Structure 1
């Protein structure tokens, strides 16, 4: 990934990191010497890319599945990030006291990034593979708990950056309400003449600034190849501006 700068061990079967992870990592903007928490990290793709792109930060990969957490630790070592990355096995939807005992201290992160399981049960065919199913499916109602945990771990004025499905925007905005403001939404299009396929969303804890709808990001041109902007993002030489 990132034009060969990052190596990633993934399961032979099940969920595998792709463009969603690349776009999410690229949407973080400038990341200073702060703690970044990757919620639902899987094998660590997003957090590892953030670490590779921003050498001053410290990254905590939060993953509940022991097998994926083990792969995440392997990936941290594989890329030489042991000095500033750690893996925390924790259930993000657990009560706050349980999360604290797992190591998710309140107010300890300046940035939370997350690609939450965003397909509601019953809306898509669920995979027989347990890992793929857990990575893709979560009830819309659970998103509120997921974002509540993110707000809890963020320091005042801390940032949240996530990727979500387009038709989940209403649920997402409702879950952000009361905890986050300064919400920026950037649609992602697979091609210029196609409907948006994803939303990149950035928000700030406790802000009262109004929401902004940003210009869209187009991934591919009429020839089916990455646009220059999307190609640079996937190579790790450009960011996706959310300001």
Structure 2
């Protein structure tokens, strides 16, 4: 385990030295949240809590629930909550987004009370990668066939009507993402994320509203790096926690 500064040194983050480590994906995801959505925010599949903690830092009035299945990551998330003095408004809970409705109900994941759900679902295809022998770790990093559909439905059971969903995912999974979206999501906006201006998008940011019928919009692509490898001015502002996407 190591402890590093994150989000323009506004967050101290304990992370495992092996496996998943938070970076740009978490910051982009947290930067989608707007003040009007930051009452109760759920970070679904939170790992050590980076994205949710960034939301808590951006909005001092926000209450955040970090939902994670890997108990090792939950322990790190709880350490991060305490280390950043968020214990009064951030909590880390064990939960399985791919569990049955009854299992999720027991875990407190079906209240439909969240103003906003942010999520960075597992990217790895369970059929193409060797799973960890630890069941929780395996389910934290592997997405079974049709798993994204169920994952997003689980997110819907946590969102209140007209609540907002924000997700980051791989750009090459766009077709699967659109197929997996629940029918009661509208006002969908997709932002392609490009490593450089001359390179194809590698990530997608998706935002949507529960129980909306507004049409889908495709936003202008967001560029992370200049030709010299440095962050663009806008990307640097997000990474340092100076603003969110709606402020750019």
Report the TM-score, using the length of structure 2 for normalisation.
0.91
Pairwise CA distance, 1:66:
1.2
Check if 1:110 corresponds to 2:115.
yes
* 1:74 alignment partner, one of 79, 90, 95: 79
Aligned residue number for residue 180 of structure 1? 185
134-143 vs 203-212, which moves further = 134-143
Aligned residue number for residue 147 of structure 2:
142
Deviates more, 1:173-182 or 1:108-117: 173-182
CA contact (8 A) 1:31 1:57 kept: no
Q: 2:12 and 2:111 mapped to 1: Cα distance?
A: 31
CA distance 1:33–1:139, change in 2 (3 Å): closer
With 82-91 and 32-41 compared, the bigger mean Cα shift is at 32-41
Shift of 1:92: 0.9
Shift of 1:14: 1.2
1:214 maps onto 2:225 in alignment: no
Please list every run of at least 4 consecutive aligned residues from structure 1 whose deviation after the TM superposition is greater than 6 angstroms.
Answer: 127-132
1:43 is aligned to 2:42: no
- Is the contact made by 1:15 and 1:135 (CA closer than 8 Å) also made in structure 2? no
Residues 129-167 of structure 1 deviation map (CA, whole Å, 9 limit, x = unaligned)? 968765543135100110001111100000000001112
Ranges in structure 2 where 5+ consecutive residues have no aligned partner: 1-5
String of CA shifts for 1:58-81, please: whole Å, max 9, x gaps. Answer: 000001111111111111000000
| Whole-Å separation in 2 of the counterparts to 1:81 and 1:241 | 25
In terms of fraction of residues, the more strand-rich structure is 2
The answer as to whether partners of 1:92 and 1:149 remain within 8 angstroms in 2 is yes
| Counterpart position of 1:11 | 16
Aligned residue pairs, count: 242
Structure 1 unaligned spans of 5+ = none
* 1:34 aligns with one of 39, 50, 54: 39
**Coordinate RMSD, CA, aligned:** 2.1
In the TM superposition, residue 169 of structure 1 has moved relative to its aligned partner by 1.2
CA deviations over 1:91-120 (Å, ceiling 9, x no partner): 111112211211224211110000000232
